[in-house]
């Protein structure tokens, strides 16, 4: 019988301003995922480093072929000394880089009652949509704040034919409480894709805290993977079931029913 499902793991962790300590956590979680039978593990945004002071991430940023990436990963050095790229990297089981995606939507947002963020101060935005085939299906790569821009996910499903959408994140506590799960489930339902959302959680330093709640969601919108504690470090695993995915897409063929906006008419503007 053909194998129609394959296991994936999503990590949850609290990265700090210490590359070695974050790396030790990642190694431990990779081993846990392998013993659980997972073929792939997804880490949160900024798993390698979350700075406590301005400029710290710029200092540790390295090129994709630098020494850190040999170990795994990152903060990708940007086009100049003042900017890095917020890059999502897919690495195969030989340690080879299969694909990279630079975060398109930057988080320049003033959170009521919390603080304001200006990611564009140190980050250069990307402008390429990226998908890649993998043992767990065709992946669509995104990062964190991208989650609020559904057209990216529509492109990944309908133009790139993605089956699994990846959303590594470091959501704020306020926006996470209000929006995290509902946005992720909406993306899964409207694209009929698995959504894997590995999340930073807890307190990184005096100024920075993340919501957490790593989730794996199936193409029907059901949460199939979640840690028991939103704030703990660990993994959750779930099986990507291609028969389920095909059956949902066959019974409700939204790819065929979809009417791309180029064909719509505006009555008036």
Residue ranges that bind ligand KGT, judged by CB under 6 A: 45-46, 50, 107, 117, 119, 144-145, 148, 170-172, 175
Is 240 in a helix, a strand, or coil? strand
| Nearest one of 22, 72, 20 to 204, comparing CA atoms | 22
The position carrying tokens 């897409």 is 249
- The whole-angstrom separation of Cα 106 and Cα 119 is 6
Measured from the CB of residue 58, what is the shortest distance to ligand KGT in angstroms? Answer: 11
Position with the least CB separation from ligand KGT: 175
Question: In the complex with ligand KGT, which residue's Cβ is closer, 56 or 190?
Answer: 56
Measured from the CB of residue 29, what is the shortest distance to ligand KGT in angstroms? Answer: 19
Note whether 237 and 209 are within 8 A (CB).
Answer: no
Catalytic residue among 42, 103, 193, 213: 103
Measured from the CB of residue 122, what is the shortest distance to ligand KGT in angstroms? Answer: 8
The position carrying tokens 């798993």 is 47
Question: In the complex with ligand KGT, which residue's Cβ is closer, 136 or 183?
Answer: 183
Question: In the complex with ligand KGT, which residue's Cβ is closer, 56 or 246?
Answer: 56
Distance (Å) of CA 141 to CA 15, 45, 72? 21, 12, 17
Is residue 207 among the annotated active site residues?
A: no
Question: In the complex with ligand KGT, which residue's Cβ is closer, 50 or 61?
Answer: 50
Measured from the CB of residue 50, what is the shortest distance to ligand KGT in angstroms? Answer: 5
DSSP H helices in 14-161: 19-35, 56-60, 67-71, 150-158
Positions marked active-site: 45, 103, 144
């Amino acid at each position: 019988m053909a194998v129609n499902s394959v296991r994936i793991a999503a990590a949850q962790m609290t990265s700090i301003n210490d590359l070695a300590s974050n790396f030790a956590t990642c190694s431990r979680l990779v081993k846990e995922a392998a013993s659980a039978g997972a073929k792939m593990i997804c880490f949160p945004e900024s798993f390698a480093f979350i700075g406590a002071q301005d400029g710290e991430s710029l200092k540790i940023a390295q090129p994709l072929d630098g020494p850190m990436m040999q170990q795994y990963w990152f903060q990708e050095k940007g086009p100049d000394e003042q900017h890095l790229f917020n890059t999502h990297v897919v690495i195969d089981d030989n340690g080879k880089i299969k694909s990279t995606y630079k975060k398109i939507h930057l988080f320049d947002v003033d959170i009521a009652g919390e603080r304001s963020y200006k990611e564009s101060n140190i980050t250069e935005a990307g402008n390429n949509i990226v998908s890649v085939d993998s043992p767990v299906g065709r992946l669509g790569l995104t990062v964190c704040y991208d989650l609020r821009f559904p057209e990216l996910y529509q492109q990944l499903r309908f133009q790139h034919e993605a089956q699994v959408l990846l959303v590594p994140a470091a959501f704020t506590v306020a926006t996470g409480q209000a929006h995290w799960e509902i946005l992720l489930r909406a993306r899964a339902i409207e694209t009929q894709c698995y959504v894997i959302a590995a999340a930073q959680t807890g307190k990184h330093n005096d100024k920075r805290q993340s919501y957490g709640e790593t989730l794996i969601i199936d193409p029907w919108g059901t949460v199939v993977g979640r840690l028991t504690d939103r704030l703990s470090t660990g993994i959750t695993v779930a099986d990507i079931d291609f028969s389920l995915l095909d059956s949902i897409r066959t019974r409700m063929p939204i790819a065929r029913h979809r009417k791309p906006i180029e064909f719509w008419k505006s009555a008036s503007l």
